[in-house]
Amino acid sequence: MIHFVLLISRQGKVRLTKWYSPYTQKERSKVIRELSGMILTRGPKLCNFVEWRGFKVVYKRYASLYFCMCINQEDNELEVLEIIHHYVEILDRYFGSVCELDLIFNFHKAYYILDEVLIAGELQESSKKTVARLVAAQDSLVEAAKEEANSISNIIAQATK
Amino acid sequence: MNPFSSGTRLRDMIRAIRACKTAAEERAVVRKECASIRAAVSDNDNDYRHRNLAKLMFIHMLGYPTHFGQMECLKLIAAPGFPEKRIGYLGLMLLLDERQEVLMLVTNSLKQDLNHTNQYIVGLALCALGNISSAEMARDLAPEVERLLQFRDPNVRKKAALCSIRIIKKVPDLAENFVNPVASLLKEKHHGVLLTAIQLCADLCIVSEEALEYFRKKCTEGIVKVLKDAVNSPYAPEYDISGISDPFLQIRLLRILRILGHGDADASDFMNDVLAQVATKTESNKNAGNAILYECVETIMSIEDSGGLRVLAINILGRFLSNRDNNIRYVALNMLMKAISIDGQAVQRHRATILECVKDSDASIRKRALELVYLLVNENNVKPLTKELIDYLVVSDQDFKGDLTAKICSIVEKLSPEKIWYIDQMLKVLCEAGNYVKDEVWHALIVVITNSSNLHGYTVRSLYRAIQTSCDQEAVVRVAVWCIGEYGDLLVNNVGMLDIEEPITVTESDAIDVIEAAIKQHTSDLTTRAMCLMALLKLSSRFPSSSQRIKDIVNQSKGSLLLELQQRSIEFDSIIGKHQNLRSALVERMPVLDEASYSGRRGGSGVSTSGINNIPNGVVKIVDAPLVDLLDLGVDEPTHPHPHPHPPPPNSSSGANFLHDLLGVGADISSSSPQSGGRNTMHGHKSGTDVLLDLLSSGSPPAPAPAPAPATQKSSSTSDLLSLTQLNNNNNNNNNNNNNNNNKASPSPFSALDTLSSSLPTPGASPMMDLLDGFGPNPTTPPPPTPKEEENGRTYPPIVAFESGALSLTFNLSKQPGSPQITLIEAKFTNKSSQLYTDFVFQAAVPKFLQLHLEPASSNTLPGNASGSITQKLRVTNNQHGKKSVVMRIRISYKLNNKDMLEEGQISNFPRDL
């Protein structure tokens, strides 16, 4: 089970956090501090796993961003690397060669996508296409609602002219 | 739109925050935004609620408090439209966690959304429930989720399956409701549903034994078939990851097979073929393939034995281990840990590679490898492996040294074939990483050293060499200082040379140089310095010719700001200067420390009952289990006169172990052999200040039995258990006052040590000081109080309380009228030998229910040939008069031809009705 997902920039700024196990706000910021200290200082050729408080944190760096997932001791680390990559590829497909700025300004989109990939700390969907389709469908629902609202306000605006 | 609403868009706020150059600027921007959001919250602004929540989420991510936005999430979730709900649920998952009570308010909205006609809204609700549900919510909403497992859209079914995992983890008794729906999901083709259903199935098996049995019977066959299909499936672009079809699904299938096959031969048998297929057919050039192989190996290791498959698995691990990719090596080490219990031999074959991994540049790999090496060490390979590890210790990272030394020490202690090897290895470790070594480790080393008497010379010389090069490692310094103090003469005289040694010449002053350097080194802490002082005291006796120089070094600590060092140096100075006759006996070689009781004590037993159980030494007596004897005193039946009287043991209820030591060793006072009374004093003292006492107490067996009274009385519980009062033949007018003062003023066990500071004329010092002063020139002898018979009370025939050789003690007992519980005793000592006894001191101890008051004695010299006597009055109050009889334990010390003598005994032949 994945206990939490963290996206940390190379400067140590948090770009996304998702907690599947209960941590209080205080613990959360402590965890983030501890892990960014551990992970950001590791050299480039080292393995992608760090042992931390009896858990393992699997991390992978993509450009300026570190994607980290915390798992149990007995979980499959190599698979978690694949899950991270899976998520990154979906992000990439969604944003069209994703960069850190996309994730900053559209952080909520990154969360929506993550919610289609993981629930309760478990993988939900192994098909990138399906995830992309589901996110797109929900985005279009939002767009439709917006347009509707606009058109209604237009009608009202015209009627009151 | 509303011109008064909070103006900035989300994008603008993020830009503004990113433009901030300092943290203070950022805080200012955030504060302003938060203020306007709060204003909007209190205005109940509907138009911008979703935008404000989005902003809050961003602010939350930066680490600012956002609790005021929690209710906004609830309002958005309650809104009818999908966009509002979407952002509302996101905010809910982000800003709240399952422990907040606000969460309970959302249960109703969740229930409605789970029944919504829009499948995406159902999906949102399932996602939120799966991520943050509390136990109560899980219980309330489980029926909805269960129903959704059969929803028409597969994307909702898979979400419901994962949501069920959360539910059964929170409320395991709900598990049985999910067993049947899951069994039907396992037959589906949709990968998402299959993936999540298998995961749910695995979690059900973990929480419910019945579910496990059910799936094992009904589903093993189906799952094996699904895995077979997945392995053999043709190229499917949707699920393909580097040439492998849906590795996520394969991994989960392997995992559920592991659970089903574990402990069940039939099920294991069933999956053999497909496991062999996975293990042989999976490509291992990409991470995805390796992830599958890794999972497959673990499954093979966990299911019931099948020799062929295990060989396959071990071979895969071997391949992993030699892989260049660090990730693969890491997981190989991880898996070998599990494999070691199944096939130790096979793992041993990879020893060399594993040892290389200990030296890897990657901390994660090093740590794994070290754990594995630790498991691999056995009697046959301990020497080469330890050598490798110690060689590596020299070059290892600073932050790895701690772990590494701990493991090496543990290996060496556990498996050392001979003592000399143990000592050699430990010295190497101490020299390389002495600062990382725990106290128990060097304590244990000292215990071993004292036990290998043929290696004393060798060890002290090795240490002398070691300290020349590694004086910055505290543990080396301590051990070396201790050994030089103890065996300094062997160092200088090259005693006990082994063939393998190179001869060295060390003069007395060289040896003292080492200790002087150690005590002056600024890095030395209190413990080390205290040990140095102790060693100097010992050396002053071992090297009489250098005693002036030692005295000078000791004197330098007289001005120490650390009370402990200051006091000790003053005491030692006076021992060196004024008590030459006492000194050599005081610092004789330590008795051999008892390994068994040391390791027992390390094992956690705080209280020692082992007592002093060594060599009967002719002069004094065997002392065993003094604690038990103490209790004997308290029983109703007075014990029979003990054939081997014991010293009055201090009770050791609260950390009075030292006392025990002090007294225990004191009992060896007249023993001819320094080996006798081997008491282990190396128990892991916590505070450094204990060390001195410890070393002193055991290092100086023939100390003239300083009475433990003050320390025993330091806590109220102990004070009455053994109210030991000592008598002093001189200065005894002060006795009782001093006793009281001292008890209050010295909560430390060191008060016993004060006795050694005989040069300190402090009036308020401990009574034992007086005791010791008896050894110095002491002119004052108070006039003997005139013995006067109490005529008006009841009298008893005199009893012979104690008789040992030439010394006899008779008690005249009497009662005062009206107070039957008080007994007056007049003790009379006579000496039938031809010699004169000087410095005669009588002490007595009684059990808890008695109170003892001693009056001054008539004299402290006892002439020979029974030509005179000493008398002393005692008053015993029996609080349990009529129920218990009086018993008493006594100790008599005196000097015969300037030689210290000690007699001890127990008096139980009092008349019954005292």
Helices (H) and strands (E) in chain A, counts: 5, 7
Span B98-150, pLDDT tens digits: 777 888 888 989 999 999 999 999 999 999 999 998 888 899 999 999 999 98
Percent pLDDT > 70 in chain B is: 77
Task: Give residue B527's pLDDT band: very low, low, confident or very high (50, 70, 90).
Answer: confident
Q: Is B902 touching A (CB cutoff 8 A)?
A: no
What is the spatial distance between Cα B854 and Cα B871, in angstroms, rounded to a whole number? 11
Contact A78/B120, CB-based, under 8 Å?
A: no
Taking CB atoms and an 8 Å limit, are B327 and A122 in contact across chains? Answer: no
Give the model's confidence band at B602: pLDDT under 50 very low, under 70 low, under 90 confident, else very high: low
Which CATH number belongs to the domain containing residue A131 in this structure?
3.30.450.60
Q: State the smallest CA–CA distance between residue B340 and chain A in angstroms.
A: 16
B393-409 pLDDT tens trace: 887 777 788 888 888 88
Chain A 17-36, CB below 8 Å of chain B: which residues? Answer: 17-20, 22-25, 29
Q: What is the mean pLDDT of chain B?
A: 75
Contact list in A for residue B76 (CB cut-off 8 A) is none
Chain A residue at shortest CA distance from B161? A124
Name the more confident of B3 and B493.
Answer: B493
Q: How far A157 CA lies from chain B's nearest CA (Å)?
A: 11
Residue B610 has pLDDT above 70, yes or no: no
| Mean pLDDT across chain A | 91
Higher pLDDT, B514 or A19: A19
Per-residue pLDDT, B7: 63
CA distance A42 to chain B (A): 9
Q: Give the one of B58, B155, B298 whose C-beta lies nearest to A107's C-beta.
A: B58
Q: Lowest-confidence range among A55-69, A101-115, B159-173, B220-234?
A: B220-234
HSE, side-chain direction, 13 A CA sphere, residue B376: 28
Among A88-97, B174-183, B694-703, B806-815, the range scoring the smallest mean pLDDT is: B694-703
Minimum mean pLDDT among B271-285, B327-341, B437-451, B762-776: which range? B762-776
pLDDT category of residue B795 using cuts at 50, 70 and 90? low
pLDDT value at B760 more than 70: no
| Binary contact (B82, A145; C-beta < 8 A) | yes
* pLDDT value at B652 more than 70: no
Identify the pLDDT of residue B731.
Answer: 41
In this complex, which of B62, B120, B159 lies closest to A141 when CB atoms are compared? B120
- Residues B681 and B598: their CA atoms lie apart, in Å, by 8
Averaged pLDDT for residues B356-376:
84
Within an 8 Å CB–CB cutoff, is residue B138 touching chain A?
Answer: no
Higher model confidence: residue B913 or residue B126?
Answer: B126
In this structure, which amino acid lies at residue A133? R
Report pLDDT digits (tens) over B834-879. Answer: 888 888 888 888 887 888 888 888 888 888 877 788 888 888 888 7
Model confidence pLDDT, tens digit, residues B243-297: 888 899 999 999 999 998 888 888 888 888 888 888 888 888 888 899 999 999 9
CB-based contact A49 B290, cutoff 8 Å: no
Tell whether the model's pLDDT for residue A95 goes beyond 60. yes
Q: How many other β-carbons are positioned within 10 Å of the β-carbon of residue B388?
A: 18
Q: Which residues of B touch A82 (CB under 8 A)?
A: 241, 247-248, 287-288, 291
| pLDDT of B794 | 62
pLDDT bucket at B198, cuts 50 / 70 / 90: very high
Domain that holds residue A135: 2-159
Query: What DSSP string describes B826-845?
Result: EEEEEE-SSSPEEEEEEEEE
What would the pLDDT profile of B717-740 be if each residue is shown by its tens digit?
A: 333 333 333 433 444 444 444 444
Domain count, chain A: 1
Long-range contacts of A48-55 (CB under 8 A, 24+ apart): A48/A77, A48/A81, A48/B326, A48/B327, A49/A77, A49/B327, A49/B330, A49/B364, A50/B363, A50/B364, A51/B364, A51/B367, A55/A3
Q: Residue B127: which of A83, A104, A115 has the nearest Cβ? A: A115
- Whether A59 shows a pLDDT value over 90: the answer reads yes
Query: In this model, does residue B674 exceed pLDDT 60?
Result: no
Q: Does residue B655 surpass a pLDDT of 50?
A: no
- Are the C-beta atoms of B871 and B857 separated by less than 8 Å? yes
Between CA B198 and CA B161 the distance in angstroms is 9
Of the pLDDT bands very low, low, confident and very high (cuts 50, 70, 90), residue A86 is very high
Give pLDDT, residue B254. Answer: 92
pLDDT at residue B381 above 50? Answer: yes
Long-range CB contacts (within 8 A, 24+) of B27-32: B30/B59, B30/B62, B30/B64
Percent of the residues in chain B that have a pLDDT greater than 90, as a whole number: 12
- Above 0.90 for ipTM, yes or no? yes
pLDDT score for B696 = 42
